[in-house]
Amino acid sequence: MIHPTAIVDPKAEIDSDVEIGPYSIISGSVQIGKGCVIGSHVTVEPFVTISRDCHIFQYASIGAKPQDLKFKGEKSYLKIGRGTVIREFVTINRGTGAGGGVTEVGEDNFLMAYTHVAHDCKTGRKVILANNATLAGHITIGDYATIGGLVAIHQFVRIGSHAYIGGKAAVVKDIPPYVIASGDRARLHGLNSVGLKRSGFSPSTLSALKKVYRIFFRIGLTINEAVERAKAEAEQVPDVVKFIEFIKSSNRGVTR
């Protein structure tokens, strides 16, 4: 059902069972999938694809031009994955030509009120952004990561899967997968053990991750030394390999 006060461009592709609330504006070159609910006073700009079963609450701004002085009006896109919930006053910008041209919000994400996702960001599955979390441009967030309220993340930073970042942290370097980080300038505080247990990680995998975490962050080795030590001592557990490869591939450096 589309409310009679909503303004919907006839070129928008909207599934027949989509609900659009009062005074919302849906531009052309927009696709909205089956089962979506768009609240009141929502603005959806051009070149946005919203997959099925998403719920966007009132006053959200979806797909506006990127806040990047290098942006020159090139065509760019925003894709929102299936089952994502976007709460009040959330802002998500399209990509830029220099950053690949696409901002992507993954499946089953939960973006709480006032969060901001800037141009060319990519989030994985079941990512949670708590109130007022702010992502600068070109940020990548892995599956099942949780970003606390009022967290600010610097551009080009990567957040690993299953990581947990406590509220009000300023994140300027990569956060490895499976860890907890917090503090005004984010620092690591061990594995996200509770979250990993809830996600079904086996005791043997948790033990291996703890061993490798200690090699990297508790005995004073350089990153290169830790990589070699971890290769020699860690079992070839897939999550351990992922942890090591994430750190090896860091360009901004890793939070410690």
Ramachandran class of 47: left when φ > 0, alpha when ψ lies in -120 to 50, beta otherwise:
left
Q: How far apart are CA 133 and CA 121, in angstroms?
A: 13
- Helix ranges, the chain (H): 193-198, 203-217, 223-233, 238-248
Residues forming a β-bridge with 123: 141
Among candidate residues 95, 106, 108, 119, the one labeled active-site is 119
Which of 137, 142, 148, 160 is catalytic? The answer is 137
C-alpha 21/C-alpha 203 separation (Å) is 48
CA distances from 160 to 145, 147, 178, 191, 192 (A): 7, 11, 7, 12, 12
CB-neighbour burial class of residue 207 (10 A; exposed 0-12, middle 13-18, buried 19+): exposed
Among the listed residues 68, 108, 120, 174, the single catalytic one is 120
Which residue in 44, 182, 120 sits closest to 135, CA to CA?
A: 120
Query: Rg of the Cα trace of the chain?
Result: 20
Active site residue 137: yes
41 flagged as catalytic:
no
Q: Is 162 a catalytic residue?
A: no
Show which residues are catalytic.
119-120, 137
